[in-house]
Amino acid sequence: MVSIPRFRSLSPAWNAALVGVIASVPISTVVNWLPNSEATVGAGMMIFGAFIAGAVAAVRSADSDAAGLRAGLLGGVLELFVFVVTAGTTAAWPLSRVAFFALAAGAVLCLAPLFGLGCGRIGGWVVRTVASRWNPTAGTA
């Protein structure tokens, strides 16, 4: 008998991160319309998306730090992808530029999750603080 493979659903932290990342796209678009704004979608995911992910995770009793970290990682990966697509072909780049891009990409992939972690922690803290104002026993969980 052949069994049907079962796929495990995403963890609560990944679910919250995806919700935050998707919800941050319109926010990033509106922020980019402001005068003298150079906001990008990836940066919006790292900041706004991680904040929303931390808030969603706190509401769902999941780890807001982990959700923010994952949202920041997704934002950093998107930023690198957008850069590679807009930079054109890398075949014509000199070796020094390729080495610099590799170093900068490593730095982005290390720092973006840290921004996400901080913003996710703030989002979770805001939700827990507001919830404890409405219900004094909500902040103790």
Give the residue extent of every domain in the chain. 12-140
Half-sphere exposure of 23 (CA within 13 A, CB side): 17
136, amino acid identity = P
Tell me the pLDDT tens digit for each residue of 52-107: 999 999 999 889 999 999 999 999 999 888 888 887 665 667 888 888 888 989 99
Reduced DSSP (H G I as helix, E B as strand, rest coil) percent helix, strand, coil of the chain, to 5: 75, 0, 25
DSSP string spanning 97-132?
HHHHHHHHHHHHHHHHHHHHHHHHHHHHHHHHHHHH
pTM metric for this prediction: 0.82
For 6, residues 6+ apart whose C-beta sits below 8 A from its C-beta are none
Mean per-residue pLDDT, 97-121: 90
Cβ neighbourhood burial of 125 (10 Å; 0-12, 13-18, 19+): middle
Half-sphere exposure of 140 (CA within 13 A, CB side): 3
